[in-house]
Structure 1
Amino acid sequence: MERRTKITVHPPNNRGLREVRIGGETVGSVWSLRELRTLLRRHGVPPDLDPDDRSRVSWLGGGSDTWPDHSWRRHAVIVLMVAGLVTGGVLLTTVGAPDAFNALTFAGRISGFLFILGGVTEVAAAVAAVDYWGKRGLTASGAIVLVGVLIALTVTTLLIFLWSEEMEYTPYMWAIFPLCAWSLWALWVVIRGKVWRGTPHPTKIATGVVVTALLAAVNLAYSAMYQPTTAPAKLDVSARFGEARLDLDEPVYHVPVTFRLKNSGTVPLYILAGDWSVYGRGGKYVEKSEELRDRRTALEQGEHDAWRHVESVGDTSLGVGPFSGPGNWYEPGEEFSQDKIVEIPKASEYDTVKAQLKLHVMRMDRGRIDLAAFSTEQYSWDKESVLYCPEEKCHGEFLAYNAQVRNNNNLVNVTRKPRYVTAWWGLGEADSNFDSNISTFKGKGFMSDAETERENKRYDLFTVTADAAIPFADVVDPRP
């Protein structure tokens, strides 16, 4: 390039940029005199050139002192835009990644990947923001920024809506609420600046964004609400006595009992707590039972059965123990059985022998349990144990189990306190007892009955029971 080539600096545009030409070729645009010197040096102009030398430099629409750009304001907008969009990208990726790689349903994984895609779009929008409030080398940078802002506003609005259902503190609040406020400000900035102008096919871009948002919403609703509600959960349980045998050396009958469960539904199931028990019932035979005369007292005590010639003298525990838990899980169609042998003295005066299997169950499509932690026993007699069980729930010494429950939709995890499942199994002086619940307490304390019912409904906790009974005469003299 010849040293005497004419340099032309054009008038500022609406953003304060001045186009620079060397000869007849446009070499760039600049915001300030310092940028002009840098641009000229890159194109071979000596650094000692006097910009006011009219024989070399032609100034149109203002001289070397006309630079209307408010650089501090523009840079502030760039910093705020980039900070908000990058924060949105991190938040969306954090929310979506657990579902994308670990969701139980295909729809849940699609929803997670859509959130990750939204996070990538946010980062791309941050890069586009630097270009749009810079030299605008990309035609579509403004539209990309608009898409990023709309994604941030949509997601934060959704998260705040979910949070408002419980209004519980979570660390994510420190990102969600400021990001929502930022997205409102950013939306005002991009609409006022009409950033979509000059973008090819803006209608198609807007349609693509709307369709993607609707697809994400449908997948979210399907995986979080519809499918867990309509998919049936069913656990079949049974208790069955086998043929008794008299011990060869001792006056004791060995009575086999088989307890069995089978997941006959369509969703995997957790066993939170379970208990098997075998009882012997004694009875006093009379002409007419006194229990028939005072049915009100019997009903108040939960005794709904009445026998005309028998007055019950109570049940005696013959054998108890935990069953398949806590934390074991069963796929649809999977089953499990366990045989127990109960010893009954030959001289016993029971009239009936009863067996019962009772389980607390939770659907796996409502949440996931940290099984490594849940399978670790804690003991009530261990002074360092962090778990607690009130006297009215756990009689005597007990085993306790506790672990965090994560919702299968991570949107819920980030908008609510952590939930924990706690299970107990205790052996009292005459009987066993067990219980389980889901609460916000990590092993200590209990929620109110209304809160407990709400959590049990949310995670679809239910109880299944199977009973069996045989006359003691069948034990003493089994029928062929």
Structure 2
Amino acid sequence: MEHGVLQKADTANAGRQRKVLATVMGLGLLASAGLFGWIGAADLSGAMSFTGRVTGVLLVLVALAMLLAALAVCDYQGKRRLEYSGALGMFGYVLVFIANALMLIMQRQGGDFTLFLPVWIALLVWSVWALWKLYRQGAWNGLLHPQRFAAGVTVTAVLAAGNFAYTQMYMPYMSPMKIEFNTRLDKPVAHPSGNPIYLPLTISIRNDGASEIYVVGVLYWIWGIIQEYTPQPRTVMHWVNDLRKFSDQHLYRFADVRKSELLVTGINHVPPGRQLSPGTGMALEKIVMLPRDRRYDIVEAQAQLIFARKDKLGIDVPSQISYATSSTDSGRERPPSWVLKGWQKNAQFTKYSLHIRQPNKLLELTRAQKRITVWVMIGSRKEDPASPYVTIDWMIVTNGEESHEPSEAEKSRQIDQYGLTYIGATSSATSLATETTQHD
């Protein structure tokens, strides 16, 4: 009698343990199914690229498979009505392991800490524990061909990981970017009064690539160069002196560069955040007024464009960009020291920021919130304090990171991750001396 009571108690305890085990193992699968179903549904409807939406479809299917696996685990730990419920449960845990391992890879690739990092780690460890428990319980025993099942699971895992890597890591990096960015100076025209000269300038941007882009910043310069003809060829020592004075100028054998002056500069004639779809372009036409009596031998136009790829980030563009403008020697906000390097103390600056929106939910959960900060420096350089100069610089930052100067490796990683980079326009040149003489 006593033995029978103990046996019933042991059976009841074992039943309760199996229920607790089934609950724990099932809740993990349900949590994973809910998480990845939520991510997949968000990307299915809101990802900024086609590949992101394809990944959303796959994640929804993975979430459904995890949900079915949770039901199979409950059956296996209970009455075992289904012959292969244990194997189906193991397949679900393999999916959980792969999905969270890939999320950890993306987290590591971004280099950021987010609140979801402990979630990926916890679900990864839990899936290993659940697989081990089912293996100890002999979940394979109901299969007629366990090796084929294992091979199928392996192939499925490899295909899922391969598709994920292709759509999230390969495609955004390999789709070509081709941006045509040009400046053109047309024929100068003298004013009827005889003094000023009107010089037409055109700056054009065209997106011939496969991805839409955001314009982050545009800066252009027009330089006036005064030269003197020298019948005797100039030597290498002359060139060395030229490089010391004009580090970015050409070297001439039969001309001595007397002076290079900044005549005109323009900042953000294209509003920051402006989008350009593939196959579209835009152009700025401007008339620049210059003094005729200067007789510049060469007038050269240069420009610089900062842009970002829309398949790698989104930009929340406010209705009006907020510019912070001040002197670097005032008591108000100052640029970081690495931006001020080489500038005179009384230099002025303009700063604006654009908040980054990740192109899909996967990246939103594995990357910290960031913004693009742009500084436009206006003033004189220490090596040439008598001449005005203007430059533009940028970095992607989180709060409190602006003081850190990005290394070349960090800049390269930002270009890879966000598609944010800058290019120079093809320069255009003309001669005021020859063109205006013809009108005299």
For residue 318 of structure 1, the aligned residue among 257, 264, 267 is 264
Q: How does 1:42-441 map to 2 (within 5 A)?
A: 66-67=8-9, 68-70=11-13, 71-165=15-109, 168-198=112-142, 209-248=153-192, 251-284=195-228, 293-299=237-243, 301-365=247-311, 367-373=312-318, 376-381=321-326, 388-389=335-336, 390-392=339-341, 395-406=347-358, 408=359, 410-428=361-379, 430-441=388-399
**Are the equivalent residues in 2 in contact too, given 1:237–1:259 (CA < 8 A)?**
yes
Structure 1 pair 98/435, CA: closer, same or farther in 2 (3 Å)?
A: farther
* CA shift digits 1:77-118 (9 cap, x unpaired): 123213311221233234434433334544432222211222
Aligned residue number for residue 472 of structure 1: 432
Structure 1 pair 73/293, CA: closer, same or farther in 2 (3 Å)?
A: same
Structure 1 pair 135/385, CA: closer, same or farther in 2 (3 Å)?
A: farther
Identify the range of structure 1 (71-80 vs 182-191) with the bigger mean alpha-carbon deviation.
71-80
TM-score by length of 2: 0.81
* CA shift digits 1:114-171 (9 cap, x unpaired): 1122223323333333333233444544333222211111222223344445654221
SS in 2 for 1:84: helix
Unaligned runs of 5+ in 2: 381-387
Q: How far did residue 467 of structure 1 move?
A: 0.7
- For 1:469, give the aligned amino acid: A
Aligned residue number for residue 47 of structure 1: none
SS in 1 for 2:217: strand
Q: How far did residue 65 of structure 1 move?
A: 6.7
**Are the equivalent residues in 2 in contact too, given 1:241–1:468 (CA < 8 A)?**
yes
SS in 1 for 2:68: helix
Aligned residues: 418
Q: How far did residue 476 of structure 1 move?
A: 1.7
Aligned alpha-carbon RMSD (Å): 3.6
Identify the range of structure 1 (467-476 vs 208-217) with the bigger mean alpha-carbon deviation.
208-217
CA distance in 1, matches of 2:44, 2:19: 36
**Share of identical aligned residues, percent?**
24
For residue 456 of structure 1, the aligned residue among 415, 427, 433 is 415
Identify the range of structure 1 (104-113 vs 343-352) with the bigger mean alpha-carbon deviation.
104-113
**Are the equivalent residues in 1 in contact too, given 2:295–2:433 (CA < 8 A)?**
no
Q: How far did residue 185 of structure 1 move?
A: 0.9
SS in 2 for 1:306: coil
CA distance in 1, matches of 2:7, 2:57: 52
Structure 1 pair 372/201, CA: closer, same or farther in 2 (3 Å)?
A: farther
CA distance in 2, matches of 1:478, 1:73: 100
**Greater RCO, 1 or 2 (C-alpha within 8 Å, sep 6+):** 2
* CA shift digits 1:317-373 (9 cap, x unpaired): 2342324242223222211111011011232232222111221233333x1122325
CA distance in 2, matches of 1:476, 1:268: 42
Identify the range of structure 1 (174-183 vs 445-454) with the bigger mean alpha-carbon deviation.
445-454
Structure 1 pair 239/161, CA: closer, same or farther in 2 (3 Å)?
A: closer
SS in 1 for 2:267: strand
Q: How far did residue 190 of structure 1 move?
A: 0.9
**Are the equivalent residues in 1 in contact too, given 2:191–2:197 (CA < 8 A)?**
yes
**Are the equivalent residues in 1 in contact too, given 2:209–2:279 (CA < 8 A)?**
yes
TM-score by length of 1: 0.75
